[in-house]
Amino acid sequence: SQTIHQWPATLVQPVGSPLSLECTVEGTSNPNLYWYRQAAGRGLQLLFYSVGIGQISSEVPQNLSASRPQDRQFILSSKKLLLSDSGFYLCAWATGNFNEKLFFGSGTQLSVL
Amino acid sequence: GENVEQHPSTLSVQEGDSAVIKCTYSDSASNYFPWYKQELGKGPQLIIDIRSNVGEKKDQRIAVTLNKTAKHFSLHITETQPEDSAVYFCAASNRYGANSKLTFGKGITLSVRP
């Protein structure tokens, strides 16, 4: 069966520090991978998605970047965090012809202080 | 692009009662409508979905109905239990669109009072 791992679960970082969140998927190959951000009281905002190794699409201009060095690995990064980067970050994967069903990781609660 | 709206933002029901959560969408080309449940501190989980070629789908205590003409769809939970308390997100996509992606509503917090 497929599983998705996301870590760390919580992270407190000072403003201006770098960020690296990692997500890996097991039990499937060539998945579409996604990074979402969920701010308090707001919906799910798609940040990046990837259809293959090295292929990254950005949905919104921001202080973050994403990379996909391996088929089932997706990394969210920042060189210098801003206060506004605080939020709940979710990795997700989808597969199949139409990539309909999204399966989410357990999320990372990031607090930038 | 697609715009999905959920109203109200919170809903409180008595245990055992039914809960209905409604969503509207804007893009008539959307043809796939999933519902996700998110418990506190966890990622959302898909609980039920419907495609535009059917008007209703049921899975035990939950059901989803779709009105394509009015462009709205609803989640129905019968015999609510405290463990149904969570945030529920609706979403929509055009499964035949290039690189189709889900557009989510902002979520509704359901509280089931024991």
pLDDT digits (tens, 9 = 90+) for B20-42: 999 999 999 899 999 999 998 89
Q: What is the pLDDT along chain A (113 residues), one digit of tens a residue?
A: 889 999 999 999 999 999 999 999 999 888 999 999 998 767 899 999 998 999 999 888 778 999 999 999 999 999 999 999 999 999 999 876 555 788 999 999 999 99
- Which position has the token pair 């809903």? B11
Instruction: Please list the residues that pair with A12 across neighbouring strands.
Output: A111
Cβ B3 vs Cβ B13: under 8 Å: no
- Chain A partners within 8 Å of B53 (Cβ): none
- When pLDDT is averaged across residues B46-55 and rounded to a whole number, the result is 91
Q: Radius of gyration over alpha carbons of chain B, in Å?
A: 14
- When pLDDT is averaged across residues B100-113 and rounded to a whole number, the result is 91
Asked whether the beta carbons of residue B106 and residue A51 sit closer than 8 angstroms, the reply is: no
* Burial of A18 per CB tally in 10 Å (0-12, 13-18, 19+): exposed
Cβ B89 vs Cβ B49: under 8 Å: no
Q: Give the count of alpha carbons within 13 A of A79, CB side only.
A: 2
**What pLDDT is stored for residue A29 in this prediction?**
85
- When pLDDT is averaged across residues B93-98 and rounded to a whole number, the result is 69
**What pLDDT is stored for residue A39 in this prediction?**
81
Say whether A93 sits in a helix, a strand or coil. Answer: strand
Mutate one of B101, B103, B109 to test the A interface: name it (highest A CB count within 10 A).
Answer: B101
Q: How far apart are CA B9 and CA A77, in angstroms?
A: 32
Cβ B107 vs Cβ A36: under 8 Å: no
- B111 in contact with A at a CB cutoff of 8 Å? no
Say whether A60 sits in a helix, a strand or coil. Answer: coil
Cβ B50 vs Cβ B64: under 8 Å: yes
**What pLDDT is stored for residue B95 in this prediction?**
67
Q: How far, rounded to the nearest angstrom, does the alpha carbon of residue B86 sit from its chain's CA centroid?
A: 12
Mutate one of A4, A37, A102, A109 to test the B interface: name it (highest B CB count within 10 A).
Answer: A102
- When pLDDT is averaged across residues B4-21 and rounded to a whole number, the result is 94
- Smallest CA–CA distance, residue A106 to chain B, in Å, is 5
The separation between the first and the last C-alpha atoms of chain B, rounded to the nearest angstrom, is: 41
Q: How far, rounded to the nearest angstrom, does the alpha carbon of residue B11 sit from its chain's CA centroid?
A: 13
Of B20, B26, B19, B21, the closest CA to residue B6 belongs to B21
Cβ A110 vs Cβ A11: under 8 Å: yes
- Smallest CA–CA distance, residue B107 to chain A, in Å, is 6
**What pLDDT is stored for residue B39 in this prediction?**
94
Of B20, B37, B23, the closest CA to residue B84 belongs to B37
- Which position has the token pair 């290039």? B98
**What pLDDT is stored for residue A96 in this prediction?**
63
- The encoded tokens of residue A11 equal 């992270």
